[in-house]
Structure 1
Amino acid sequence: MRIENHPFSELKIGDSAEMRRLLTIDDLYVFAAATGNHNPMHLPREDGDGDGIAEAVAPGMFIASLVATVLGMQLPGPGTLYRRQTLNFATRAHAGEEIRIHVEVTEKHTDGTVTLKTAIHRIGDNALILSGEAEVIAPPKYAAFEDMHLPGLVVQRHRHFEALLDRARSLPPIPTAVVCPQEPNSLGGALLAAKESIITPILVGDPQKISAAAAESDTDITGFELLAATHPRDAAATACALVNSGRAAAVMKGHLHTDDLLKPMLDKTNGLRVGRRFTHVFVMDVPGMPAPIMVTDAAINIAPDLATKVDIVQNAIDLALALGIATPRVGVLSAVETINIGIQSSVDAALLSKMAERGQIRGGLVDGPLAMDNAISLTAARTKGITSEVAGRADILVVPGIDAGNMLAKQLAYISHAEGAGLVLGARVPVILNSRADGRMSRLASCAVAALYQAHVCGTDMAEAPWQ
């Protein structure tokens, strides 16, 4: 982008400039992080004045800084320095509103300074938000600048999960058998989801350990049903019985090994099998990405064969449909984007793609083999000459095996600051699978994803995904 200034000698009374700016939630977070001003009036989803409404008011000094943007970028432009600025706030601006910032030269002074009238109006109703006057030192000579590159800035906000939570809150809470919530994190995750009206927990496990976890976290569990089961596998079997009797519509992992949770579910008589293999999906909210990314399978199937990969793909597509993605795009990953008979994952990827073309996998577009870069980057796909509806915009990434999946999910979490919601599919009901290291948002999002999936399976109408 080229920017140029208007030196003092060229400025005339009546010269003006303006720009438009859409105020976003990210603006509020960036301002709070940069200034240390965490006034809840200016933070999205916070009720700063106790009236029961989240205000998301744009900070006054952030609004005022946009006047400086016009002065420094347009009129007088680069080289301008402030002397003084008066600010009169007539009303407030909020995230989601578009505003117009206007400056106009009113005086020129012999010392090289210029006075400008400044004003900001809200677009739509033309309401005056800010008025004032600026006195600046105008640049003494003409200058122009080309391609001024700044470091990229990504706000570590999980807006996709926030949208999923909003949608899940509109549904009735699903009764959920929480297996062995016997330490504060696993118990707290279930109770947090209950507080948000996403699930209704049925606590299953050792009553003494559950009570101790509640006491340690200073949590009251007297309002929740508690079913005694001393051994973890007994607790998991009890959860299966709750599902089979219609009392639970989801299962949530607490403080036990995944094997102990899943083994009773695989029982042919009393388990939760419905035909497909159990597969795991991470729904990842990666800051800066335009939509969530699903990674599968990163937790259950170690070295899946082709038949297992068919179920992995189909389960992931079904979940994506439940989340509101109209036509899920599935990128089947390998080390290369061409078929190499020496790399089995590339052969499997090609077969999965052809099976989807023939209707053996339904509900989405499947393409592979794709390398990671050309699965998620249109630029990389075009550079390599790949023409595909999936390449560069995959919603679902199918990994060759558990090693690759686990590493990919953890790289997204620890390097790209993603949050991940974990779900096991292929059972009679969704199984919420969280890690002990998962934070508040991951636990909530996992419950929300389960609720949306169960609503989809039961035929509840869901709005189109907010990121489409």
Structure 2
Amino acid sequence: MIHNFRELMEAATKSGPKRIVVAAADENETLNAIVQASRMKLVLPTLVGNKEWIEIMLDKKDIPKGSFEIIHEKDSIKAAAVAAQIVREGSADILMKGDVVTSKFLQAALGSPGNLKSGLFSDVEVYEDVREDARLVLVSDGGVNISPGIKQKLEIIRNAVAVVHRLGIKSPKVALLSGSEKVHPDFQSTIDAVALVKMCQDGAVDDCVVDGPFALDNAIDLASARAKGVESPVAGSANILIMPNLEAGNIFCKCLQYYAGRMLIHVGMGAKVPILIDSRTAKAEEKLHSIALAKLICESSRQEREAE
């Protein structure tokens, strides 16, 4: 079981590199992350972007010319299309966003003929809870699905559970969040939670424990759960926080980053390969850890295919 980001990086270095293609790679933090990942033998990069700029920056980072495959395309939207096509052709295991608007990047990957979708695409965020013993907590969806209904939330749960299984948690605890732990007719998310719990109890999602609704405090803090009389195997120890909508997820994640100073990493699930959609403001360290997570997902997927 992987407990923290340090262990995540250690686990990712235990196997050979994966092929990664980066759309609009002419951005310094993205390039720094790719250089670090390459030096750690996590990935074999293909960079799509302004070739002249990329080569100048790589030279400054002491990367010999010709070390990385570089495909010249100055236009960021066209670069996204080129990168997505490389994945479609089976020439990359991970697709990564550089300096391109997320919606345009995802349109190239998921919205065109022959798209890379394998189900509902959702953004899974991971942060390190260090209040007591460090542990990784997943949040979804704070980046893609604006106002998911019950069927979409079920897919969001499946995608998040798939990620947490890659971290070695065999039966993760999934908390369905709302503004209250009590079912209320004016809170649609509480009504959705009741339906989702029943569906999961009936086997809609394997190898996890799903419960809710929860307010945030009683999902992650056992003392708060006890004080409010919330009794559940998930209460106070959730591994996955399912947000009621994108607005709640996005605000929660930005509070973690900007108020609490927590590092937040991303991976997009529900496609044929992991898709990295870190914010363009993300630092190289965050992007590097996202790459490591995507590599673990690739490795686990390969092992599952071999076992079939």
Normalised to the residue count of structure 1, the TM-score between the two structures is: 0.62
Q: Matches of 2:112 and 2:302 in 1, distance apart?
A: 24
1:234-270 C-alpha deviation (Å, 9 max, x unpaired): 2222222222222100011111110121102223532
Map 1:46-65 to 2 at 5 A: none
| Superposed displacement of residue 363, structure 1 | 2.3
Q: Does 1:242 pair with 2:121?
A: no
Structure number with the higher helix fraction is: 2
Q: Which residue of 2 aligns with 1:331?
A: 175
Q: Does 1:278 pair with 2:278?
A: no
Q: Matches of 1:163 and 1:388 in 2, distance apart?
A: 29
| Alpha-carbon spacing, 1:355–1:366, altered in 2? closer, same or farther (3 Å) | same
| Structure 2 gap ranges (5+) | none
SS at match of 1:308: helix
| Superposed displacement of residue 309, structure 1 | 1.0
Q: Does 1:322 pair with 2:166?
A: yes
Query: Which of 336, 340, 352 does residue 196 from structure 2 map onto?
Result: 352
Q: What letter corresponds to residue 273 of structure 2 in structure 1?
A: V
Contact in 1 for aligned 2:127/2:262 (Cα 8 Å): yes
| Alpha-carbon spacing, 1:221–1:320, altered in 2? closer, same or farther (3 Å) | farther
Q: Does 1:257 pair with 2:105?
A: no
| Superposed displacement of residue 326, structure 1 | 1.1
1:132-182 C-alpha deviation (Å, 9 max, x unpaired): xxxxxxxxxxxxxxxxxxxxxxxxxxx710100000000211100111111
Contact in 1 for aligned 2:9/2:292 (Cα 8 Å): yes
Q: Which residue of 1 aligns with 2:111?
A: 267
| Superposed displacement of residue 443, structure 1 | 1.6
Contact in 1 for aligned 2:59/2:65 (Cα 8 Å): no
Q: Does 1:381 pair with 2:251?
A: no
Map 1:374-453 to 2 at 5 A: 374-453=218-297
Q: Which residue of 2 aligns with 1:292?
A: 136
1:90-137 C-alpha deviation (Å, 9 max, x unpaired): xxxxxxxxxxxxxxxxxxxxxxxxxxxxxxxxxxxxxxxxxxxxxxxx
Contact in 2 for aligned 1:297/1:401 (Cα 8 Å): yes
Contact in 2 for aligned 1:328/1:365 (Cα 8 Å): yes
Contact in 1 for aligned 2:29/2:284 (Cα 8 Å): no
Q: Number of aligned pairs?
A: 303
Q: What letter corresponds to residue 283 of structure 1 in structure 2?
A: V
Q: Matches of 2:56 and 2:25 in 1, distance apart?
A: 11
Q: What letter corresponds to residue 345 of structure 1 in structure 2?
A: S
SS at match of 1:404: helix
SS at match of 2:84: helix
Q: CA RMSD in A?
A: 2.0
Q: What letter corresponds to residue 289 of structure 2 in structure 1?
A: A
Identity of matched residues, %: 32
1:339-385 C-alpha deviation (Å, 9 max, x unpaired): 11111111111111111101112221111100000000111111222
Query: Which of 37, 40, 43 does residue 193 from structure 1 map onto?
Result: 37
| Alpha-carbon spacing, 1:430–1:397, altered in 2? closer, same or farther (3 Å) | same
Query: Which of 58, 73, 83 does residue 229 from structure 1 map onto?
Result: 73
Contact in 2 for aligned 1:330/1:396 (Cα 8 Å): yes
Q: Matches of 1:256 and 1:220 in 2, distance apart?
A: 26
Query: Which of 182, 203, 208 does residue 364 from structure 1 map onto?
Result: 208
1:71-105 C-alpha deviation (Å, 9 max, x unpaired): xxxxxxxxxxxxxxxxxxxxxxxxxxxxxxxxxxx
SS at match of 1:400: coil
1:172-225 C-alpha deviation (Å, 9 max, x unpaired): 111001111112111111111111111111111232342354467665553001
Q: Does 1:162 pair with 2:24?
A: no
Q: Matches of 1:456 and 1:287 in 2, distance apart?
A: 26
SS at match of 1:271: coil
| Structure 1 gap ranges (5+) | 1-158, 462-468
Q: Does 1:307 pair with 2:151?
A: yes
| Alpha-carbon spacing, 1:425–1:221, altered in 2? closer, same or farther (3 Å) | farther
| Superposed displacement of residue 445, structure 1 | 1.1
Q: Matches of 2:271 and 2:90 in 1, distance apart?
A: 14
Q: Does 1:457 pair with 2:304?
A: no
